[in-house]
């Protein structure tokens, strides 16, 4: 079986061939065409169906094949943005939000997928809009879907750094957050009580008396013990990631920083990551860089060359010991 390869052709036809060949992938990360957004100029493309219902039916068919390819403990990370009803669509209200991300997610849930998470991709640098009767859209969704309630997820690999007073394991774990109300934490770590306790000698720092020493030692020991535990925390469900420019002729490249946590959490080194809508090859590039193998499908032959350029530098693939 070929890996680190994108098959040029219709994604459903490609995936049927892969299923017939007995291929299994551990993780799928993809961003399909959005309905009514743009014409890529390729016969057979998805996204130009006359109605949203037909588009959703097409997507369910695509992801039924994805589910056949996916390992039983695998995960699907699906990026989908929203849009507005195009003028060409018959029988619909113009300017209506299509709601296609959630319509698709619920359609896939009805088709048998487990819908485990809706992640908001917040774009701090959204595309400017000249509208004056609504807000500028600055987010899309990433849905985490699985084949069952049990699946592989490398929880630690996608954690994020702790910021501010946040902590990862509840109240009383972060030493900075575990300071009683009224304590002054200024002046190089000196902690003295304010208000009615000021000047009493009760505190944590210079001038504290024998009564406070046991508590100070306890706090210091506690802080030293838990310090390694709070460098990172469980990744939140809102990911602030700027869009990433791409100089070549592809209109809808999603950023590598959006793909990376999905690949890290959804696969191990040496596993196969699939993108049935490979486009310019972002998923392939990230998977290869992280030591995963990859497969893809792409209808537009012009994009195959873009993928080859982005994956020209081989990644270090580590095989998992049996």
Bridge partners for 28 per DSSP: 76, 274
Strands (E), 152-280: 160-161, 183-184, 191-193, 203-204, 232-233, 238-240, 272-275
Q: Pull the structure tokens for residue 309.
A: 């350029």
C-alpha–C-alpha distance, residues 240 and 73, integer Å: 28
- 5-159+235-310 CATH fold: Rossmann fold (3.40.50)
pLDDT of residue 186: 47
What's the predicted TM-score (pTM) here?
0.77
Are 278 and 297 in contact, with CB atoms under 8 Å apart? yes
By C-alpha distance, which of 12, 19, 21, 22 is closest to 59? Answer: 12
pLDDT of residue 191: 43
pLDDT of residue 36: 75
Q: Read off the DSSP letter of residue 88.
A: T
pLDDT of residue 123: 95
Task: Tell me which H or E stretch contains 114.
Answer: strand 114-122
What are the sequence ranges of the domains in the chain? 5-159+235-310, 162-232
C-alpha–C-alpha distance, residues 191 and 242, integer Å: 39
3-class DSSP state for residue 312? coil
3-class DSSP state for residue 290? coil
C-alpha–C-alpha distance, residues 311 and 261, integer Å: 19
How many alpha carbons fall within 13 Å on the CB side of residue 2?
10
Bridge partners for 76 per DSSP: 28, 145
Ranges of residues in the chain with a pLDDT under 70 are 1, 86-91, 164-229, 245-252, 313-322
By C-alpha distance, which of 62, 139, 135 is closest to 101? Answer: 139
* 245-297 pLDDT tens trace: 665 554 557 899 999 999 999 999 999 999 999 998 999 999 999 999 999 99
C-alpha–C-alpha distance, residues 206 and 50, integer Å: 75
Q: Pull the structure tokens for residue 172.
A: 């009383």
pLDDT of residue 175: 43
């Amino acid at each position: 079986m070929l890996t680190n390869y994108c098959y040029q052709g219709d994604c459903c036809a490609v995936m049927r061939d892969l299923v017939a060949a007995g291929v299994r992938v551990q993780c799928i990360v993809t961003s399909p065409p959005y309905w009514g957004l743009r014409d890529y100029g390729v016969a057979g493309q998805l996204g130009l169906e006359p109605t949203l219902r037909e588009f959703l039916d097409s997507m369910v068919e695509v992801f039924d094949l994805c589910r056949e390819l996916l390992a039983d403990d695998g995960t699907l990370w699906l990026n989908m943005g929203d849009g507005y009803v195009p003028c060409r669509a018959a029988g619909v209200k113009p300017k209506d939000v299509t709601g296609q991300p959630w319509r698709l997610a619920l359609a896939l849930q009805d088709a048998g997928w487990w819908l485990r998470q809706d992640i908001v991709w917040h774009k701090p640098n959204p595309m400017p809009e000249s509208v004056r009767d609504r807000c500028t859209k600055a987010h899309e969704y990433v849905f985490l879907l699985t084949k069952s309630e049990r699946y592989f997820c490398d929880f630690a690999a996608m954690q994020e750094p702790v910021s501010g007073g946040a902590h990862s394991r509840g109240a009383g774990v972060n030493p900075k957050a575990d300071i009683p109300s009224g304590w002054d934490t200024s002046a190089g770590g000196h902690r003295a009580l304010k208000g009615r306790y000021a000047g009493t000698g009760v505190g944590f720092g210079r001038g504290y008396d024998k009564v406070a020493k046991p508590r100070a030692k306890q706090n210091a020991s506690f802080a030293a013990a838990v310090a390694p535990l709070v460098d990172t925390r469980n990744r939140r469900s809102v990911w602030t990631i700027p869009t990433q420019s791409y100089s070549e002729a592809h209109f809808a490249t999603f950023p590598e920083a959006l793909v990376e946590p999905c690949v890290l959490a959804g696969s191990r080194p040496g596993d196969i990551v699939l993108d049935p809508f490979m486009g310019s090859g972002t998923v392939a590039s990230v998977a290869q860089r992280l030591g995963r193998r990859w497969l893809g499908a792409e209808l537009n032959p012009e994009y195959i060359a873009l993928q080859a350029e982005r994956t020209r530098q081989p990644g270090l693939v580590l095989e998992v010991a049996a």
